[in-house]
A and B are shown apart, each in its own frame.
Chain A
């Protein structure tokens, strides 16, 4: 077999030359001569170098450099969907209301996106009960069930939330239930805040940074004023009354607006006294379903890259922790540690699906105010393709199958894509409301491959610099964390 046909991808860092072997999911460090030779051969050169061919043959003998490709894009859960909805539902997120007391500039319901807009529709308790019953009734094989409250702003209806929590607790005897809520935090006070603490409800509060950055986008609908001060007061009060609960269950979600000053944002989350101990998730302003292109200032991009660089230096022990932004802790785990934790295989299987799609209904089922089901809360409620059933008629297995096997749309490309195991494109990336579009999905591929290559490079660079990926886990055995 010719090296030209091997299912591989080559890349290099400043210090090393690498070959990613797709079949075995291995990253092999190789010498520069071999690296250049393989690249030339893959680019059409017919010059044969015997000594390097010998090395290639040795690698083949070790099980690498196979040309085998996936024959068919098919998710391993495809034929199991009827059983997923029968005994493995584990989550439902209820759209408590479509109303919101804020009008955020970049909100997906603001009218700037191909999605529903703010409305006064609310979920009836009868629909919520049916949703909770459906979850409990079909979760016999789930280790735990999650019930989430989402909006609009869910805390506009505190009594409804309390009713749902009490009902679920009563109905789910013997099952572990985790309640969670995404809120803007402006109404998280008084009786409902105490109730959240008593029931260990995990809360994700939207907070974008210091006052001037947060208030740029997050404003009250009633008077256009910023919401920062109100949120901070509520969190401080909750922390005073329920310190342990807050420590364990409250985290923040920061939407990074590329037109603001990133240094201020990171400084705020790492140094601001009332905030610095919380867990922070970050997300960029969403491009998906957006009516206009979301752009980032160059200075913002440079700042982000610099903070990322500092974080890697901290991980390598070359920079004190106080200079590293904790906003990168999650990104480091997701993008670099995950490369270290990848599984090895003998080869690709005949039938496989690229990474990305969640099994619809399995972990993130979302139900809107009318009782319509969606695979998660991030897809557009205007898209018929994302409506995977409803509380009255049950699930639509055909639609679920199409969402799960979105790789079929682009099978010819995906079969030959070296990055398919790490791909993160799901059906939402192909959804243009009118349909699931091959072209729309493929328009993301260059970005995804670049991103995955960058993650692999960073992983290899960290190894070259002596970062020991398994040290933290080794100490965790004894209850210590480095």
Chain B
């Protein structure tokens, strides 16, 4: 099936993976990116957004910079900064829809705005597709946990913006290339565009008890195991594994905890913020993973995002600083004293090496073929 040629909007660091892994996207082909002028990306290479190296597309300030013939749809995405839907987003989409461009949504849109957008598309006879998982599950009647018999890999993060999704996509691609049958639940709600499962909406619902969420997630993974017969299941775990301090709650690690109670990981990757950590930090984080999440951290990814703690303390909202991939390549070498490998997922060699490393970790368990 021919993929729709699409422009990403509003483009920033949160959607850069769509370009970096465009070849894996089954739904649309990202041919261009549009970003509001005030986000400091216009006129720059799209790779500037996530600091992960050049991509080869220049960020446009408006859709008009593209020729009408060169794209079929606009993809509405999540962004790091919020944008006023009615004042900024909707007028731009209105113009695109009037030109016959379809809308693909990868972001949860408030119901009132969603209706507005659907009506707009309907009245102009253009398509509106949402890939955000919002299926309502049936409540479980039993409360037992079913064992998952194939190896499970967790991709965990110390918090948001630690490039967990890039790691998941690298694993997905790498393991498939090595011939494995891979099933995957992505940490985002629209994994289906890459052919894997989206993170289920029920895990974020306020109306379902924590116990039921654990059971539902366990059953979801078990059914994937039965139906898809994978060699390995990758689970991208959203959010952060713990509160970093009194000001930075990161959801208190509640979702990772629920997932770890639903499914036991056979291998785990933890992506951490850039910081000058002491070796004690890694010892403690491994203990935390072991006792809170029943998981062994097998390797670390050093992301290119640093938390600006002073600013968070003052403004009471998350504040970050982004460095580039060369900086991280240099810094990750300083952790050679830690007995676990460090990767930089923006480094092409590391993208390949992390896959091989995880295969080796899982293969290492093959001395015991099964525990009955």
Contacts and interface: CB of A to CB of B under 8 A. Distances in A.
B308 A349 contact: no
Interface stretch (A132-140, A185-193, A230-238): A132-140
A84 B321 contact: yes
A466 interface: no
Interface stretch (B21-29, B37-45, B253-261): B37-45
A363 B321 CA distance: 13
A83 B323 contact: yes
A140 B40 contact: yes
Chain B contact residues, majority secondary structure: loop
A137 B81 CA distance: 15
Interface stretch (A97-105, A167-175, A211-219): A167-175
B65 interface: no
Interface in A146-190: 171-175, 177
Interface in B30-86: 35-41, 48-49, 81, 83
A174 B322 contact: no
A145 to B, nearest CB: 8
Given A174-B38, A175-B39, A351-B276, A141 B321 contact: yes
A173 B278 CA distance: 41
B266 interface: no
B315 A175 contact: no
A123 to B, nearest CB: 22
A346 B280 contact: yes
Contact of A76 (B12, B48, B276): B276
Nearest to B315: A143
Contacts, number: 73
Given A80-B306, A141-B320, A143-B315, A87 B40 contact: yes
Interface residues of B, number: 33
Residue of B37, B49, B327 with highest tally of chain A CB at under 10 A: B37
A447 interface: no
B88 interface: yes
B41 A140 contact: yes
Residue of B13, B37, B38, B320 with highest tally of chain A CB at under 10 A: B38
B104 to A, nearest CB: 20
B98 to A, nearest CB: 21
Given A140-B12, A143-B317, A174 B36 contact: yes
B333 interface: no
Nearest to B318: A143
Given A88-B308, A173-B88, A174-B81, A143 B319 contact: yes
A49 interface: no
A125 B83 CA distance: 29
A343 interface: yes
B81 A87 contact: no
Nearest to B275: A76
Nearest to A175: B38
B183 to A, nearest CB: 35
Contacts of A172: 37-38
Contacts of B159: none
Given A88-B308, A174-B83, A174-B88, A83 B321 contact: yes
Contacts of B240: none
B52 to A, nearest CB: 13
A140 B37 contact: no
B123 interface: no
B245 A343 contact: yes
A80 B321 contact: yes
Nearest to A346: B280
B68 to A, nearest CB: 22
A81 to B, nearest CB: 10
Contacts of B245: 343
B38 A136 contact: yes
Given A76-B276, A83-B323, A87-B322, A139 B40 contact: yes
B39 A174 contact: yes
A330 to B, nearest CB: 14
Interface in B301-347: 306, 308, 311, 315, 317-324, 327
A349 B278 contact: yes
A174 B321 contact: no
A305 to B, nearest CB: 29
A141 B38 contact: no
A358 B137 CA distance: 51
B157 interface: no
Contacts of A346: 280
A87 B321 contact: yes
B10 interface: yes
Interface in B208-266: 245-246
Contacts of A79: 327
B313 to A, nearest CB: 8
Contacts of A84: 321
Given A88-B308, A343-B245, A351-B276, A173 B320 contact: no
A173 B37 contact: yes
A76 B37 CA distance: 31
Contacts of A171: 37-38
A173 B81 contact: no
A402 to B, nearest CB: 20
Contacts of B10: 174
Residue of A87, A139, A363 with highest tally of chain B CB at under 10 A: A87
17 contacts: A76-B276, A80-B306, A83-B323, A83-B324, A87-B40, A138-B40, A140-B13, A140-B40, A140-B49, A143-B315, A171-B38, A172-B37, A173-B36, A173-B37, A174-B39, A175-B36, A346-B280
Interface of B: 10, 12-13, 35-41, 48-49, 81, 83, 88, 245-246, 276, 278, 280, 306, 308, 311, 315, 317-324, 327
Given A87-B322, A143-B81, A172-B37, 19 more contacts: A76-B276, A80-B306, A83-B327, A88-B321, A138-B40, A140-B39, A140-B40, A143-B315, A143-B317, A171-B37, A171-B38, A173-B36, A174-B36, A174-B39, A174-B83, A175-B36, A175-B38, A177-B38, A346-B280
Interface of A: 76-77, 79-80, 83-84, 87-88, 136-143, 145, 171-175, 177, 343, 346, 349-351, 363
A-B interface, 10 closest residue pairs, ranked by CB to CB distance from nearest: A174-B36, A175-B38, A172-B38, A140-B40, A174-B38, A173-B36, A173-B37, A83-B323, A173-B38, A88-B321
